[in-house]
A and B are shown apart, each in its own frame.
Chain A
Amino acid sequence: MYLIRESVALNSEVTKMVVEAPEIARKVLPGQFVMMRIDEQGERIPLTVNDADPQAGSVTIIFQAVGATTIRLASLHAGDALLDFAGPLGRPTDLKGAKRACVIGGGLGTAIAYPQAKWLFEQGSEVDVITGFRTKDLILLSDELAQVSTRLIVMTDDGSNGNKGLVTEALSRRIEEGADYDLVLAVGPLIMMKFVAATTRPYGIKTLVSMNPLMIDGTGMCGGCRVKVGDSYRHACVDGPDFDGHQIDFDDAMRRAALYRPQEQQAKDHECRLQQEANR
């Protein structure tokens, strides 16, 4: 069992959880993920590591309550425990050599992009961070990101923070202003990553995207997480989760992401019913 040391709601949808996992905390690198299972009936789900503290022996995950498992996970408290927590999985993000990077996070992707920005900043790189949210109440990690970036630009879809627009608009603007990026890293919804890649393509800027497909074992065994890169399929769990954004077939990835949507809805309804009954 893996003890939950801390669980904090960052906004109405997103929860930050600190889990006791000393071995993983010592080994994990930016971009890597864990596979977790709440209990015997639970699904195994991949969650990218947000932060780790080797001294304290803890790993931080940040997740959005969107499906049955994450809704249930969000209902757990400090002192509860997770049955399984395995990692670090996947390849660390290849950030070496980047001098002028732009790290882009969309929604929850901001939490996943944080360790990359931090690592780059600590290596002495210039780091622009662009984050995007639907509205200002959902803005995440601005204080944390401000500390590990040269420049932080926070966008909202509805302009409620006074900065209306998409992350791609901010990115285009920065490129036009002369930001000579040698690396763009995008973490967020597939549609966002698709358009970030489309934005950087004409400039030939190296662009990495973090794929988060369906996954079961996370060890390269089941092929559930295959993503189309160029002409071939690769396993996001062992070959990724980061890939060259200019090679990824995002339409294929979006189609595959919808594979289990009816069952996900069914499981979510089931979970919501259980929680309502429990609260009654």
Chain B
Amino acid sequence: MMSTDVNRSKVKTPVAEQDPTARAKNFDEVCLGYTLEEAHEEALRCLHCPDEPCTKGCPVSVPISAFIQALAEEDPARAYATVKSVNSLPAICGRVCPQENQCEGACTRGRKGEPVAVGRLERFVADWAPGHQQEAHAAIEALGHKVSPEVAALAASKSVAVVGSGPASLACASELAKCGVQVTVFEALHRAGGVLTYGIPEFRLPKDLVAREIAAIEATGAHFELNSFIGKLYSIEELMDERGFDAVFIGTGAGLPSYLGIEGEGLNGVSVANELLARVNLMKAYLFPHYETPVHVGKHCVVVGGGNVAMDAARTARRLGAEVTVVYRRSREEMPARVEEVDHAEEEGVSFHMLANPVRALGDDAGWICGLECLEMKLGEPDASGRRRPEPIEGSAFTMECDMLVVAVGSSSNPLIAETTEGLDTSGRGLIVADDETGATSIPGVFAGGDAVSGAATVILAMGAGKRAAKGIAGYLGL
């Protein structure tokens, strides 16, 4: 096939995945990614629409048509450099972005058939690069725009503290480091990456790959200080006064878990998703006792919630050996989780009990959970979110067998920074108030972005905010 011929297939080039039965027992990555041939074949499905609806649908405006064109021309190095020029974490975005609502959701091919598999292609180019470092590097050099010596000298004299090392912070740090600014990233935990490291499971986002993307950012000059909990070790003010940073970016995410607030939630065997995921992802509890952190695994696990975190928790519990049921108070259509995640969970043997809401956890004499009382729900009128409001059905109470309950009903911003930073404006929900375009907060020189500002959202939206704040900071520093 000539590289300029359009591939007329109405469906995406299939991608290899681990068999569901096998993968429900291991933590290896589910999706195996395209080969070069498959990527080329899929790249040929792109129509290269002049108005680039896909790029408009991307929170960081990846030049999608251009990188796919490079792939179609069998030039993965140029494709990689093109993506990397605007997206510092392509291997991550290719895996965890909700492409169906973004680039792929806007794709012209999607009107009659499936959209171009932009996510799989982005992942392909990102995964191709580490095995072809010289070519990748040369392509980046060829695309790179040179900074004038005056600007470079000025940038090198400026230093910025980035608080947190999740997607927003990494995007911000990467952009600033590329300009030549001295960047120091402060991470409270022992490993960088924020939710990419403690939250999203290995089988969806391998931790080696997260480490590789972070190493690439380090290679551009950003420095990481781990085990440094800002708000305790240094306040924001101390970062500027004692440590002498010219500006600070706050990207501390939404790490504070929400609870159901039901009776029995304090029973043993009940945890929030963050605890299960941190034990397994951050502390590698699935390798206990070789790794010393244990994790409680029940026979009958119930996960409450309908988002991606709930799916991650359910699939993690499944891999640890539990029978898993997801309880969600609305119906499948309203689930905020990506369709792909829900499908994957189902393939792996996770059951779903829709339109149900827990009202009480039942405990045994030793204080362990032994059952979960729920009510059946029905959908009423749409609420503020536009989704139909779930309402309990009278007299519908039923009890599920449950010796492991995982609560995955959202999270909010950790209040520590707001509490310890005088003059930092926050909203009613404890979110930091920051300018949409520049990330500027109520304190001069202090910027913020990501979930700490927006509330829990997606990796790519946080990255977009981090990038915009990097521009805002550069402007503030006179670069």
Closest chain B CB from A265 CB (angstroms): 10
Complex interface residues of chain B between 186 and 242 (CB less than 8 A to chain A): 188-190, 198, 226-229, 232-234
Q: A23-B233, A42-B292 are in contact. Are A223 and B255 (CB under 8 A)?
A: no
Q: Which of B275, B296, B366 contacts A223 (CB 8 A)?
A: B275
Closest chain B CB from A243 CB (angstroms): 15
Closest chain A CB from B182 CB (angstroms): 19
Could you tell me if A221 and B227 are in contact, using CB atoms closer than 8 angstroms?
no
Closest chain B CB from A36 CB (angstroms): 9
Contacts of A221 in B (CB 8 A): 198, 255-257, 274, 278, 414
Q: Which of A82-90, A123-131, A171-179, A197-205 contacts B (4 or more CB under 8 A)?
A: A82-90
Q: Taking CB as reference atom, which chain A residue is nearest B272?
A: A223
Could you tell me if B296 and A260 are in contact, using CB atoms closer than 8 angstroms?
yes
CB of A252 closer than 8 Å to a CB of B: yes
CB of A37 closer than 8 Å to a CB of B: yes
Tell me the complex Cα distance, A87–B256, Å: 19
Contact with A along B227-271 (1 / 0, CB 8 A): 111001110000000000000000000011101000001101101
Could you tell me if A222 and B233 are in contact, using CB atoms closer than 8 angstroms?
no
Q: A43-B283, A226-B266 are in contact. Are A260 and B257 (CB under 8 A)?
A: no
Q: Which of B233, B272, B291 contacts A41 (CB 8 A)?
A: B291
CB of B58 closer than 8 Å to a CB of A: no
Could you tell me if A216 and B283 are in contact, using CB atoms closer than 8 angstroms?
yes
Could you tell me if A86 and B229 are in contact, using CB atoms closer than 8 angstroms?
yes
Complex interface residues of chain A between 183 and 223 (CB less than 8 A to chain B): 216-217, 219-223
Could you tell me if A43 and B292 are in contact, using CB atoms closer than 8 angstroms?
yes
Q: Taking CB as reference atom, which chain A residue is nearest B363?
A: A255
Tell me the complex Cα distance, A150–B155, Å: 58
Contacts of B229 in A (CB 8 A): 86-87, 89, 219
Could you tell me if A83 and B232 are in contact, using CB atoms closer than 8 angstroms?
no
Q: A88-B232, A216-B283, A263-B294 are in contact. Are A258 and B268 (CB under 8 A)?
A: yes
Contacts of B292 in A (CB 8 A): 41-43, 68-69, 267, 271
CB of B344 closer than 8 Å to a CB of A: no
Contacts of B296 in A (CB 8 A): 259-260
Q: A27-B233, A43-B293, A44-B190 are in contact. Are A222 and B283 (CB under 8 A)?
A: no
Complex interface residues of chain B between 269 and 288 (CB less than 8 A to chain A): 269, 271-272, 274-275, 278-279, 282-283, 288
Could you tell me if B367 and A219 are in contact, using CB atoms closer than 8 angstroms?
no
Tell me the complex Cα distance, A224–B198, Å: 14
Could you tell me if A223 and B257 are in contact, using CB atoms closer than 8 angstroms?
yes
CB of A24 closer than 8 Å to a CB of B: yes
Complex interface residues of chain A between 38 and 73 (CB less than 8 A to chain B): 41-44, 68-69
Could you tell me if B278 and A216 are in contact, using CB atoms closer than 8 angstroms?
yes
Could you tell me if A224 and B271 are in contact, using CB atoms closer than 8 angstroms?
yes
CB of B289 closer than 8 Å to a CB of A: yes
Contacts of A244 in B (CB 8 A): none
CB of B429 closer than 8 Å to a CB of A: no
Q: Which of B227, B233, B257 has the most CB of A within 10 A?
A: B227
Q: Which of B232, B266, B283 contacts A87 (CB 8 A)?
A: B232
Contacts of A260 in B (CB 8 A): 294, 296
Closest chain A CB from B13 CB (angstroms): 39
CB of B145 closer than 8 Å to a CB of A: no
CB of A99 closer than 8 Å to a CB of B: no
CB of B151 closer than 8 Å to a CB of A: no
Contacts of A252 in B (CB 8 A): 266
Contact with B along A121-160 (1 / 0, CB 8 A): 0000000000000000000000000000000000000000
Contacts of B275 in A (CB 8 A): 216, 222-224
Closest chain A CB from B424 CB (angstroms): 18
Q: Which of A226, A255, A259, A267 contacts B289 (CB 8 A)?
A: A267
CB of A238 closer than 8 Å to a CB of B: yes
A-B contact pairs, 15 of them (CB 8 A): A68-B292, A86-B188, A86-B190, A87-B229, A217-B189, A217-B278, A221-B255, A223-B272, A224-B271, A233-B259, A238-B416, A255-B366, A255-B367, A260-B294, A271-B292
Identify the B interface with A (CB < 8 A). 188-190, 198, 226-229, 232-234, 255-257, 259, 265-266, 268-269, 271-272, 274-275, 278-279, 282-283, 288-294, 296, 366-367, 414, 416
